[in-house]
Structure 1
Amino acid sequence: MTERSRVAAATAAFLLAFTLFALATGRDAVDRWVAATALPPTLGETSVEIRDRTGALLRAFQVGNGIWRLAVQPDQVDPRYLALLVRYEDKRFWTHRGVDPLALLRAGWQALRHGGPVSGGSTLTMQVARLLEDGSTGRWAGKLRQIRVALALERRLGKRDILALYLTHAPFGGNLEGLRAASFAWFGKEPRRLTAAQAALLVALPQAPESRRPDRHPEIARQARNRVLHRVAAQGALPADEAAAARRAPVPQSQRGFPQLAPHLADALRARDPGQPRHDLTIDAQLQGALQALAAQAARRAGPDLSLALLVADHRSGEILAAVGSPGYGAARDGFVDMTTALRSPGSLLKPLIYGLAFDQGLAHPETLIHDGPVDFDGYAPRNFDGAYRGDIRVRAALQQSLNIPVVRLTEALGPARVIAALQRSGVQARIPGGRPGLAIALGGMGMRLQDIVQLYAALAAGGQGVSLRSEKTAPRSEANPVLSPEAAWQVGNILAGLPPPPGAQAGRLAYKTGTSYGHRDAWAVGYDGRHVIGVWIGRPDGTPVPGAFGGDLAAPVLFEAFGRLKPAFDRLPPPPPATLISAAADLPPPLRRFRPRGSFEAPGAALRLTFPPDGARLAADGAPVTVKLSGGAAPFSVIANGSPALTGQHAREVELPYPGAGFSTLVVVDRNGRSDRVTVWLD
């Protein structure tokens, strides 16, 4: 008899003797002995988990010493596995009180008879006791301690709690602890649905987790699995034909990687709140995986050392559905840098906002003529990207061609501070060099994040109403602020929907804009349909130039591909609001037919002011006409309500404006020389 056999036989004899002793001694003495037991901690550290909108695992983090240990409850596990586990390991688990005397007697008798262990006498509760204390199983003192802790556990915890401890702490080879970690590592899935072969292997592994590891000892693992299948089939717990088919199934030859979806976002959330065991996000795991794959493919097409970031949001709810910070989460292409949150120059992506503000201010209309020619604003002389001039051009065409000079003219007329105020209303906090905005902001002279860009365009898509983006399901929804009137926002979207799409893409279904920052450092594309908004950035994380990189060439195709992976068809863009001024150039009010820069035609006299109602006022109009009072300027006057001419040819400085409807209304007055003033009021 070997030394190991002698120890096992002695241990079995002790267990047999202890069982007989326990039966013979009084219940009160045993009760006092169990009640005095000091239990080990039962709340072991488990992996921080990042979950998607449906509860699917996006990413998990290892606990101390690099262990994968994921929290799990019995109701999260395939009932087949639980049935096989109890049947194979501890068939009286649901009825005994921590120790199974019959199993101990059987194990002791078999060990004495055969000179070594034949079957185990440990219950699942005893195994939990050993796992919690990391104790020995072969020595009398260790076995006695397990019995005592098992009896105490049964008194203080329920059966399902004990089962949950086993499912969380059982070893499955290497750095895998617990059923969920094992199921992900060996089968790449949650243990909610397991085949008979998979369930049997997971039952067999904890008995000898290292010697039965499928990736190192596949034949031993297969034999151990098949013993489980044979025994449970012989006991009638599994149909014979199903067990036979399961025995023919291959065992996994290698471990699979744990999910690593939205890793940059996961890192940020864990760093912000390291004590939170679980973060539930608005991310869609399937979409996130598809767009991470797209980002990797597109970055390879774009060129070496280039990074790429993507952000997808639902502009109706503000939920972020996918956030791709780089083409791959690794050292290649600086993949650890999250480019959705990096400050970059937005290039020409602010132009749609500036045109929308000009529409709201009564400075321009999509059919207004604006001059594209050399300009100089106190030493600042912007030029178009191609260095050419178009002369007189419609505002619609100027935006679609992304000309620089017309938008700087409008920015000068609006004032840069008004543009920054609109960004702030949309929830964007831009970084302005020197802290004071100048005309260069129209061409990207500031720092913005991809998330800021998507948030701004979400406001355009939502009819000018600010949208607060959020990635956490429990995050409160912020109160939205109006950025543009619905009419101006629709006009901007209508212009952007007229841009020709990349080759092979559908035209007119997506309102989108591309951008390229100074020195070809950033290539952008952002667009929206009736439901979703997507932003794309391509460039180098260190900010070095990418010669020849243009947003239209690099980023726009990725934008349309991303929409294709998001859904099979575009959601229809909304129709124009009822008050939208849709008119040919010749039918526009005279001041809107041609844009004239501030100061170029000022007539003598006081500046035009809309003195009543005051900006921001709340009026109880109750459907009655609204009194409008003017000062300064030169008659005749036109009053535009919510983008639509309401009064024209007025010479009086106090007029009655037909009730424009309840809610926010933007009123713009324009005099014969094109001077204008604007207020936004709330009408009850």
Structure 2
Amino acid sequence: MNIKNYIKRHKKKTIFLAVFLIFYAFCLPKELFTKPTSTVITSKNNQLLGALIANDGQWRFPHNDSVPNKFKTCLIQFEDEHFYKHPGFNPVSIFKALKQNLQAGKVKRGGSTITQQVIRLSRDNRDRTYFEKLKELILATRLEIRASKEEIIAFWSSNAPFGGNVVGLDAASWRYFNRKATDLSWAEAATLAVLPNAPNLIYPGKNQHKLLSKRNRLLKKLLIKKVIDSLTYELSILEELPQKAYAIPQITPHLLQKINKTNKGKFVKTTIDKKLQNQTNEIVKKHYNVLNKNEIYNIAVLVLDVKKREVLSYVGNSPTDKKHQKDVDVIDKPRSTGSILKPFLYAAMLDAGEILPNTLVADVPTNFGSYQPENFNKNYAGAISAKLALSKSLNVPTVRMLQSFGLEKFYHYLQKLQLKNLHENANHYGLTLALGGAESNLWDLCKSYASMASTVNNYTKNSSRYFTNEFTEPTFYADQKIHFGKKSAEKNIFDAASIYLTFESLKEVNRPNAEENWEFFDSSKQIAWKTGTSFGFRDAWAIGITKDFVVGVWVGNADGEGRPGLVGVQTAAPILFDVFDKLPNSEWFSTPFDEMTEIKICTKSGYRATEICEDKKLQFIQNAGLKTAPCPFHFLVNVNVSEKYQVNTSCENLENIKQKSWFVLPPLMEYYYKNKNPFYKTLPKFRNDCLGENSNVMKFIYPTEKSTIFLPKDFNGIKNKVVFKVAHSNNNASLFWYLNTTFLGKTYQKHEFSTTIKRGKYTLTVIDNLGNEISQTIEIQ
């Protein structure tokens, strides 16, 4: 009742008081500091990796709530001894300052508390007038109500000027002492505590005597107050002052730029292992210094933690120059894949039950219309196991496997891997899809291999269950934990057994014979790895996989220029193994037995063994492998006792006929296979006195199918001859060669025929002495 009466009697005073209280409540801006800040990234252990200068050209790190005790103590003792006792202003200090200023006739002393200084900093250090001081005092008391003392100290530490373009304790600590604020000594903390008092006058490297005097007076005060002991004091005053500013560390510059796009002006804690990052940087620098002599200027390296799917090391490019695109982050840039996609085809065919690891596949000259794939070494094995074809990275077997498997089917698997640069349809890439006809990037490739490794890990660890989100994006943000989804009995893309068998094949990748060039390889480490080289020697790849880590390396020129010697095994693989040498050894993957079945395999063919296969062995295969065909290369044949000839009852008594299982390859495969396999026994021919048998077979080696033949001219301008080749199962057969209806000639045993032909279309026909006939349509250009 009394309040109501008072309000009625003192309406003006009440209104004034209410307006003042409203003004006081809202006088302080919601955000005190709005100036742009630097983008700062740290390792997973909060170690500085790099920072970008703020938009206004200042090194101003984002606000930090944590202020180290040493610096806090120095600051309070130097600026505001009674900081924890006053309400935002200190009447005694104000009175002393006012008295001294009046006596001097000008402003000589401020008397501001730390809280008032925070307000002045937030108001861009306006002119020191008495009216401005009054505003600061009011706003300081309001700030004391809103924020705690620790928060006010943090505001000051994050926004105080430290000379030049350095703002805030965190930036100053790195610029002047090249270390984080929590690692400062007492002398260093004292130096930074006195520096903002006159940042334009006292600057490291200038006015050293004034800065030293202020610092040492503060250290003396700390000694007197018993904050530090006499030994610490004596050692502290001996420490030298900083003479110049250090450069802010730039350990992961390309990752910093990537993060800056979405987190500009923020502190970002990453998953990077700083020690490993520094080691990887040194490895890249060492190899760059060698490779640039061959005009190869760019390198990218990515290291992933398989189990957490975190980025441990990120080298977006080599330490080259601007002329050679040093600022380009190659890790996410599309490049020709070379052979790096071959393991995906192998895994897909295992997963679909199309092959077994040791299934023999053809490695012979092959034409698909005008497309003629070739192995890197230009040689052919005739027949080779799918596993060995992958480990040797042979192109011809790969293309034949892709053609057999189905281009669309393989493309569907790649789409599931979410390779972002696979923009076109399957027909656009054609059969070159597995050889480098498509583009991808180091990030997507490492992500895919890491997901495959994790699939095997989780399957064997979680009672033969898969995770629904296994093929997920990795992260370099420490606060972003990867969720692999729910457990499921259904595979994501490849089953665990197919992946495991793929890694087993990649673990056996042949090492180069020249040991002196391979000293970087530690054979004690079990690593599944694959290299790739793009057409024109433009891109060199190497990716290694263990149970715990995936390391990916790309080497080349960012502008796409190819260079001789830019080959995956020569340039990228050495970097790969140097990085693995810095990583802990991993145990090999556990075998996913629940996705596998033990069956008898034909030793020679790698197919499921039939009853007539001579040599068999028990082997665990993927469950889908039970759908594969049985061995097609073993036949029961009738031979005489010496096994020199095939016979039948028309020429030999039944008791002298022996039935035998024989390993027989088709003629073209046999032609190349027997040159590399001396123990291969060609199927015997029928004895001359046997009737009713005519099983001799022949096939073109060149040309293999309807094709166009281009004949170059020699130095005299005369067109070279074309050389036709045929393989025949009977070494003693005679062949008769015809071009259209014109007889060309006859060959015996070695069936090669050279001739000069004019431009045009022809039918090449070959007939053996038993009447067998083959023909081929050719076009001469």
Give the TM-score range, shorter chain. 0.7 to 0.9
2:450 equivalent to 1:458? yes
- The whole-number CA distance in structure 2 between the counterparts of 1:33 and 1:291 is 62
Structure 2: distance between partners of 1:164 and 1:124: 11
**2:447, 2:474 within 8 Å by CA — same for their partners in 1?**
no
Deviates more, 1:460-469 or 1:63-72: 460-469
Match of 1:496 in 2: 506
Question: Which stretch of structure 1 is more off in the superposition, 261-270 or 526-535?
Answer: 261-270
**Aligned AA (1:169):** N
- Structure 1: distance between partners of 2:451 and 2:369: 33
- Match status 1:535 vs 2:552: yes
Distance (Å, rounded) in 1 between the aligned partners of 2:351 and 2:212: 73
Tell me, in whole angstroms, the C-alpha distance in 1 between the residues paired with 2:303 and 2:277: 9
CA–CA distance in 2 between the matches of 1:91 and 1:425? 65
- State the distance in 1 between where 2:74 and 2:343 align: 63
Q: Look up the SS of the partner of 1:312 in the other structure.
A: strand
Equivalents in 2 of 1:478, 1:327: separation in Å?
A: 33
**CA distance, structure 2, for counterparts of residue 572 and residue 672 of structure 1:** 35
Which whole-Å CA distance do the structure 1 matches of 2:506 and 2:230 have between them? 66
Q: Which residue of 2 aligns with 1:573?
A: 588
Relative to structure 1, the CA distance from residue 522 to residue 73 in structure 2 (aligned partners, 3 Å threshold; closer, same or farther) is: closer
Q: SS where residue 309 of structure 2 aligns?
A: coil
Q: Which residue of 2 aligns with 1:68?
A: 59
How many residues are aligned here? Answer: 581
How do residues 468-483 of structure 1 correspond to structure 2 at under 5 angstroms?
A: 468-471=472-475, 472=477, 473-474=479-480, 477=483, 479=485, 482-483=492-493
Matches within 5 A, 1:145-224: 145-224=135-214
Letter in 1 for 2:472: S
SS for the counterpart of 2:49 is strand
Aligned residues of 1:87 and 1:237 also touching (Cα < 8 A): no
CA-CA distance at 1:329 after TM superposition: 8.1
Matched AA of 2:278: G
Letter of the 1:571 partner, please give it: S
Which residue of structure 2 aligns with residue 442 of structure 1?
434
- Give, in angstroms, the shift of residue 570 of structure 1: 1.7
Aligned residue identity for 1:141 = F
Tell me if 1:284 matches 2:273. yes
Deviation of 1:172 (Å): 0.3
Once the two structures are superposed, residues 166-225 of structure 1 have per-residue CA deviations (whole angstroms, 9 ceiling, x without a partner) of 111110011111111111211222212321011100111001112221134444433332
Question: The residue matched to 1:526 in structure 2 has which SS?
Answer: strand
Q: Which moved more, 1:516-525 or 1:106-115?
A: 106-115
Alpha-carbon spacing, 1:522–1:557, altered in 2? closer, same or farther (3 Å): same
1:554 deviates by 0.7
Is the CA contact 1:432–1:447 (under 8 Å) kept in the aligned structure 2?
A: no
- Give the direction of change, closer, same or farther, for the CA distance of 1:576–1:237 in structure 2 (3 Å limit): closer
Paired position in structure 1 for 2:242: 252
Cα distance in 1 for residues equivalent to 2:449 and 2:160: 50
- For the structure 1 residues 273 and 135, does the alpha-carbon distance in structure 2 shift closer, same or farther, using more than 3 Å as the test? closer
Cα distance in 2 for residues equivalent to 1:79 and 1:385: 64
**CA-CA distance at 1:478 after TM superposition:** 5.8
Give 1:112 deviation, angstroms: 6.2
Secondary structure (helix, strand or coil) at the match of 1:320 reads: strand
1:515/1:550 contact within 8 Å kept? yes
Note if contact 1:428-1:455 (Cα within 8 Å) is conserved in structure 2: no
* Alignment gaps of 5+ in structure 1: 1-25, 595-634, 637-642, 647-664, 676-684
| Cα separation, partners in 2 of 1:158 and 1:242, compared to 1, 3 Å | same
Aligned to 2:569: 552
Q: What residue in structure 1 maps to residue 396 of structure 2?
A: 405
1:507-552 deviation line (CA, Å, top 9, x unaligned): 2521111111101000111001121001000000011111221111
Question: Cα offset for 1:131?
Answer: 1.0
Q: Secondary structure at the residue paired with 1:438?
A: helix
Q: How many Å separate the matches in 1 of 2:196 and 2:388?
A: 70
Structure 1 residue 347 displacement after superposition: 0.6
Q: Which of 601, 612, 627 is equivalent to 1:669?
A: 627
Task: Compute the displacement of 1:154 (Å).
Answer: 2.4
Matched to 2:503, the amino acid is G
Q: Tell me, in whole angstroms, the C-alpha distance in 2 between the residues paired with 1:672 and 1:450.
A: 39
Deviations 1:369-401 (A, max 9, x none): 222110112332101112121222233322222
The question of whether the paired residues in 2 share the 8 Å contact of 1:425 and 1:483 is answered with: yes
Q: Residue 139 of structure 1: CA displacement? A: 3.2
Q: 524-533 or 247-256: which moved more?
A: 247-256
Q: Which secondary structure does the structure 1 equivalent of 2:187 belong to?
A: helix
Counterpart residue identity of residue 192, structure 2: L
Q: How does 1:319-358 map to 2 (within 5 A)?
A: 319-328=310-319, 331=322, 333-358=324-349
Alignment check: 8 A CA contact 2:339 2:534 kept: yes
Question: Which residue, out of 414, 422, 425, partners 1:423?
Answer: 414
AA in 2 matched with 1:247: I
CA 1:35/1:101 → structure 2, altered by over 3 Å: closer, same or farther?
A: farther
Structure 1 pair 111–459 and aligned structure 2 pair: CA distance change class (3 A): closer
Amino acid at match of 2:569: G
Aligned mates of 1:666, 1:368 — CA distance in 2? 14
Partner Cα separation in structure 2 for residue 447 and residue 370 of structure 1: 27
1:265 match: 255
Aligned to 1:373: 364
One-letter identity of the residue aligned with 1:243: Y
| Amino acid corresponding to residue 42 of structure 1 in structure 2 | L
Q: Decide whether the 8 Å contact of 2:335 with 2:439 is kept in 1.
A: yes
CA distance in 1, matches of 2:244, 2:277: 25
Helix, strand or coil for the counterpart of 1:576? coil
* Alignment equivalent of 2:602, drawn from 563, 577, 586: 586
Change (3 A) 1:463 1:29: closer
- Whether the 8 Å contact between 2:361 and 2:384 is mirrored in structure 1 is yes
SS in 1 for 2:578: helix
Measure how far apart 1:235 and its partner are. Answer: 3.4
Question: Are the counterparts in 2 of residues 88 and 232 from structure 1 also a CA contact under 8 Å?
Answer: no
SS of aligned partner of 2:56: helix
Partner Cα separation in structure 2 for residue 362 and residue 242 of structure 1: 74
Structure-1 separation of matches of 2:548 and 2:130: 68
**Partner residue of 2:670?**
none
CA separation in 1, counterparts of 2:551 and 2:598?
A: 28
Alpha-carbon distance in 1 for matches of 2:420, 2:621? 34
**What letter corresponds to residue 522 of structure 2 in structure 1?**
Q
Note if contact 1:34-1:152 (Cα within 8 Å) is conserved in structure 2.
no
SS of corresponding position for 2:403: helix
3-state SS of paired residue (2:335): coil
Pairwise CA distance, 1:282:
2.6
Confirm or deny that 1:79 pairs with 2:90.
no
Cα offset, 1:500, TM superposition: 4.6
Whole-angstrom distance in 1 between the partners of 2:554 and 2:387: 25
* Secondary structure at the counterpart of residue 226 of structure 1: helix
1:76-119 deviations in Å (ceiling 9; x for gaps): 22212111211111111111112211222333455567888876
Distance 1:352 1:583, change over 3 A: farther
Distance 1:432 1:94, change over 3 A: closer
Q: State the alpha-carbon separation in 1 of the partners of residues 17 and 167 from structure 2.
A: 33
Q: Is the 8 A contact 2:602 2:631 kept in 1?
A: no
Please give the alpha-carbon distance, in whole angstroms, between the structure 1 residues aligned to 2:342 and 2:605.
24
Separation in 2 of the partners of 1:34 and 1:178?
33
TM-score using structure 1 length = 0.77
Range with bigger deviation, 246-255 or 219-228: 219-228
